Amino acid sequence: MSAAEGPLVVGVDTSTQSTKALVVDVATGEVVASGQAPHTVTTGAGRESDPRQWWDALGEALRQCGDAAREAAAVSIGGQQHGLVTLDGHGEPVRPALLWNDVRSAPQARRLIDELGGPKGWVERTGSVPGASFTVTKWAWLAEHEPDAVRATKAVRLPHDYLTERLTGQGTTDRGDASGTGWWAAAAESYDAETLAHVGLDPALLPRVVRPGEVAGTVRDSHDLPFSKGTLVAPGTGDNAAAALGLGLRPGVPVLSLGTSGTAYAVSTRRPADPTGTVAGFADAQGDWLPLACTLNCTLAVDRVAALLNLDREAVEPASGVTLLPYLDGERTPNLPNASGLLHGLRHDTTGGQLLQAAYDGAVHALLGALDLVLDEDADRSVPLLLIGGGARGSAWQQTVRRLSGRPVRIPEAKELVALGAAAQAAGLLTGEDPAAVARRWNTAAGPVLDPVERDDAALARISGVLSDAAPLLERGDDGR
């Protein structure tokens, strides 16, 4: 570890499967220490985690950072969006958190859309049409299926809120993460009384929304983490808003994030409103907007196909007419929560490598199909796509995105962009800078640019055609409903 030139900050990414912590030099952006610890996620009917695991994982990740974490002057938590954390009067979880990729609330999502003004009404009020990922639908599911848990709940939080509150003792959130709940009114930038009343959620149970640049609190002394009492705590934010900060993202620059889920987003100065529900009208962590489309099936789905075929994930061959829609966990974009995977065009001479490439094509097709809706109409289409997330390091992912987008692709060399964005937010508390400007000063988006190749329009048309023809089957789901 080299000597730091400036004060140190800690940025945290509490994601679906692990918590990562980075200690970063504010002056240079150098990562002087890092740590990571895993979470457990249930794999039964839903996707749940005990929030106390996140706290334990944070402690372990910070211990791996050694003395550097103890020297930090500020800390910020970035976290997985949408998760429903229910706490009792003592701040303990009432039940495991319902995670973003738990789609059991799909019926409640459809009902809420119908009952509160349809897609247009939801977009006008909250900026988004809620799907099964949104927190409001999870609360409605909980009220219907576990009313005792609802009665025992004295506080409702998002995953990053839970960790921030354990640090400070104060219930806070930020506009970026709040905008993914379905009960935050985008135009008014406040909780929506009509929505909360409809789902029976007392606004007193919700955290205070901290403004961009505001201090959320300071580290209290009743904790077991290596922070000094009084260390500044930034508002934190959701993972995609944190990654946007970590890239120093300017309006109009498109991002594809290839992780457990796949996301397409860009910062916009205009509040988005897509009544189809494909694009969520999220807020960013600064004061602008972050229109975003998300797919449930990305790297995990492709890796599962590779495992079924007993192939390395890079062992692809040209798809040659075979189409695979890898909707292994239902799907969010397109909105098919009950769907399962679908294979079309299989022939005797189809190889395993061709099937694997078809899985990549199906996942990337869904993301690129949403990208045009994410970007403003006047966006410069020659700007390179920023490809981030774990999948961005894989050649098969890179080449599939190039071939199906026809655009130049930049691969930022910086890793752990969610944690870096959180660190930039923490640094902004100390320096008074815009966190995105901090990240640009750190040059976090630097990386090689892959030149564009001719777009594979035939593959795009083939996948679109299969998706259209199979829509009735996919909408019923594998249980025939």
Q: Which two tokens stand for residue 414?
A: 């910086």
Contact between 89 and 171 under an 8 Å Cβ cutoff? The reply is no
Q: Cα(112)–Cα(69) distance, rounded to whole angstroms?
A: 44
Q: Which one from 174, 192, 239, 274 is the annotated catalytic residue? A: 239
Alpha helix stretches (DSSP H) within 236-291: 239-246
d(CA 84, CA 6): 37
Query: Does residue 118 come out as left (phi exceeding 0), alpha (psi in the -120 to 50 range) or beta?
Result: left
Cβ atoms 279, 123 nearer than 8 A: no
What angle do helix axes 435-442 and 417-431 make, rounded to 10 degrees? 110
Residue of 350, 362, 361, 341 lying closest to 320 (CA atoms): 350
CA distances from 114 to 107, 129, 131, 421 (A): 11, 11, 12, 37
109-131: burial string, b at 16+ Cβ within 10 Å, e else: bbebbeebeebeebbebbbbbbb
Residue 478 annotated in active site: no
- Measured CA to CA in angstroms, residue 196 lies from 116, 187, 191, 205, 291 at distances of 11, 16, 8, 11, 23
The CA-based angle 444-32-234, given to 5 degrees, is 70
Q: Please name the helix (run of DSSP H) or strand (run of DSSP E) that holds residue 325, with its range, or none.
A: strand 323-325
Q: What tokens appear for 206 in the block? A: 């919700």
CB atoms within 10 A of CB 226: 18
Tell which phi-psi region holds residue 443, choosing left (phi > 0), alpha (psi between -120 and 50) or beta: left
CA separation for the pair 324, 320 (Å, rounded): 12
Nearest to 257 by CA among 92, 123, 418, 21: 418
C-alpha angle 44-45-49 in degrees, rounded to nearest 5: 65
200 is written with which tokens?
A: 């029976």
Helix or strand holding residue 293 (H, E): strand 289-295
Positions marked active-site: 239
